[in-house]
Structure 1
Amino acid sequence: MSTSEKRLMKGNEAFAIAAIRSGCRFYFGYPITPQNEIPEYMSRELSKVGGSFIQAESELAAVNMAYGASAAGGRVLLSSSSPGIALMQEGMSIFCSVQLPLVLLNVMRGGPGIGTIQPSQADYNQVTRGGGNGDYHIIVYAPSSIQEAVDMIGKAYEVADEYRNPVIIAVDGMIGQMMEPVVLPEDQGYTREEDIPKKKPWALVGHKDQRDRNVIKSLQLKQELLEEEIMAYWPKYERAQRELPEYEARNLDKAEVVFVAYGSTARVVLEAMEILQKEGIEAGLIRPKTLWPFPDQAFENLGDNVKKVISVELSQGQMINDVKLALNGRHHVDLINRVGGMLLSPAEIAERTKTLMGGTK
């Protein structure tokens, strides 16, 4: 696994390889569809590169095992699906409070509750707003293909280390289960134990009487100290909002209808745009690649030609709230959606768009 290569792969297995080649040497998880190929792959392959795989007794146990490995300076991967991610939320809040890096793959399925094993995007609020307590943010990437997910995983580890914060890769079950050609990254190696004190001076690796000892803890019994701690780490979130937003924009100069979509849904929208163009309707697309920080700047220069802005989601309208905030009242925002694991087709999006626009031209 020393050179880049192109393979036809299922998404979940490609994600696992990308994590290993990005230096991940610790995986903790619990089986849940539709991401089970990730722990299956890790259980076979991680030990071959000197890593450790543990199938935890629950998602709650997995996130706390990850806490220990990350505190010791290791690169860690967690993966789960929607209800499993919900069980990890307390741990995610603690990761943020003590400023530890982590990469977490959420292969989203339908909900609420146990729901279904079919693809969904109804975890948007969960991953961007967080289900844990307190003041914190989690950085969230949203790839629309296996290749983009693989590329984002490598970036996520770098961002997690730089910001000392968890990063979520939010993919729906379709991307996890589909197969596509993917160029795998070269193996970047991993940080050896003896090099951790230099690269991660905060890590718990023992001080050997050569430095002050490190303490990593979340509990602050004095409210003044907790406020001071929050104020100290909050500027990194403000920097993230300036530096990290990413998006793709298509045909905004001509568009009379602008779709906003992410993940695999954005790919369906691209086909709907072709249908509409054949019928004389110019459509554009804004595809957020980061869900937090949300790319507000993508919406700043929409022209007077725009008659409709439509959020296309596999949820009851969760991203639409961020779209409205980004537009700040300059345009009304409509919703085209399916829920419960149901998928949208290009033809359905095109027909519902024409209905919202008052019929065909």
Structure 2
Amino acid sequence: MSTTSSTSNSSLATQDTVRFQEIVCSDQQSKIAVATLCNPKALNALTQNMLVLLNDQLDKWHDDDAVLCVILNGEGEKAFCAGGDVRTLHDKMKHAPIEDAKAYAEAFFGTEYQCDYLIHTYTKPIIAWGEGIVMGGGMGLFMGASHKVVTPDSRLAMPEIHIGLFPDVGATYFLNRLDDDIGLFLGLTGVMMNGTDALDVRLADHMNAPADKQKLLHQLQQTDWNSIEDSYDYLTEVLSELADNANIAKPATHLLPLIPDIQRACASDTLEEVFDNIQALPCNEKWMQAAQRNLMDGSPITAHICFRQLKQYHQLSLADCFRLELILGLRSVEFGEFQEGVRARLVDKDGLPNWTYAHISQVPKSVIDNLFTSLWREQEHPLAMLGHH
């Protein structure tokens, strides 16, 4: 990573890059690859530049027989990755002609989804070290990894309802693979989970101490890889052993005791019923109060998109999910709800988005139908090549 001198203007020091290392193992042949997201001032939010770099390097490592596994992590302790760089997208939507904004969004989302798809379909183990914040675009990278590690301070969410977008980065796929309707609740409320919650609903595989990361690297470097029959099983064992030795104090679960209530609330066939059921859930816990408030204050259009994603599209292949999300992403840029959400939450920070419709009951079905309508013929879709290797 390029370093800027301490005398430089602080705006020049904003780094949006990815640092790559290859650690040679003791056999002098095998390598452990490490990719570190380096945008710490923005909680490692993914810029277009970072996504291009990461995607290209993961491709190279995939083809390099000496690379045995990849460790994906974020700079600093605060965040693995807090999401995609939606502020730049907001500025394009606000100042550029709509066709330019859509072209930028197509390039940004297209690269992001290709990178996420590559991680999901990688044929080598990827350990995603989800320390700190793992949200939105960070979840996109995290969920495709073969070994998803959280720490006691991890906080995970798909919070798109706050900004008038929709659960993307493959969420149409991975939220639909959770136990019945849990994904719908997480998407509609954008609620923050801790590491224990993530393990409980199988959004994560391991909880490790932050200090285990260096121990993991050291152990993998010392491993005699010729004697390892299955690298996936071996990494699972190593992570489990490190966790046992670290004697971690796990944060208390919020989600597990509430799962039956959440599933009953979200089982209804209409969004209006699900909305009312969630608001009626017993809220003697701050966590549930936050979930209910998020849904109440969130974009009614996002709620409708999310409901349809998680009620009608659970049979879609991974590649088709990303193709659908690219359509939704560009339609959202056209529509304007997303621009207003980012303005209110991240740019002006007044926290008062002026949503197009005041309540979910006012959103016409035709508006949602249009958001799901492709901008391309099937073979012309920018992600037509996903899944056709």
**TM-score between the two structures when normalised by the length of structure 2:** 0.31
Structure 1 or 2: more helix by fraction? 2
Which structure: greater strand fraction?
1
